[in-house]
Amino acid sequence: MLLLLSLEYLIAVLPAFALFGAPHIVVRIWSVALIVMLIVFLVRLILAGQGGSHLASPTGAAPVGDRTDDARWLGGLLYIDRADRALLVEKRIGLGWTFNLGNPWAWVLLVGVISIPIVIRVALAR
């Protein structure tokens, strides 16, 4: 949490330096600090694993992590399970969520999201 907060402050203060005419050396030092902090943050995220699955628990219990069956994942990226009623599941690789492609409503939502820019483009072309 401290790392994330530090990164946010670095990002927030840099435009203020530029706005108030700080010397270029200060802006450059701050920019380097921002890049270093971002790299440290990304490395810590990678080492922690999805949902903190690689972190040791203080109680010694195994981390909760992802409990979905490996057979339900296609390449670790696509989740397909008709028996699972969830529309969204936590990604195995990276941060965020992915659709359960075994749920018919996921396909409806995907077609809807993809068709919106297409419909707008066709409507503007007329």
Instruction: Write down the domain spans for the chain.
Output: 2-48, 70-125
**Taking a C-beta distance cutoff of 8 angstroms, is the pair 100, 88 a contact?**
yes
Q: Please, what's the b/e burial string for 12-22 (b: 16 or more CB within 10 A of its CB; e: otherwise)?
A: eebeebeeeee
Query: What does the pLDDT look like over 21-54, one tens digit per residue?
Result: 767 777 778 778 878 888 887 887 777 766 666 6
pTM for the model stands at 0.48
Which amino acid is present at 26?
V
Tokens 């068709």 belong to residue: 115
